[in-house]
Amino acid sequence: MRYLVVVEKGPKSYGAHVPDLPGCIAVGETKEEVLRLIREAIEFHLEGLKQDGQPVPPPASTSELVEVRAA
């Protein structure tokens, strides 16, 4: 499965979340670290859903870059 992961750079760290898996988040000091942590968080989240007998949401989110004129 391939889920869309949104990565945001903060002043001192990176954050990541998965739109298709509410509550699935990670924070790391580098982009590489946050990507490793969000991958682990996704796997843990999916295992928890399965153990609880809940359905695993299929990946549905997509992304696009939108070009705009600078103000």
pLDDT above 90 as % of the chain: 97
Give the CA dihedral 56, 48, 14, 16, nearest 10 degrees.
10
53, pLDDT greater than 90: yes
Per-residue confidence (pLDDT) for residue 71, from 0 to 100 = 74
pLDDT band at 30 (very low <50, low <70, confident <90, very high): very high
pLDDT above 70 as % of the chain: 100
Per-residue confidence (pLDDT) for residue 69, from 0 to 100 = 93
CB 42 within 8 A of CB 18: yes
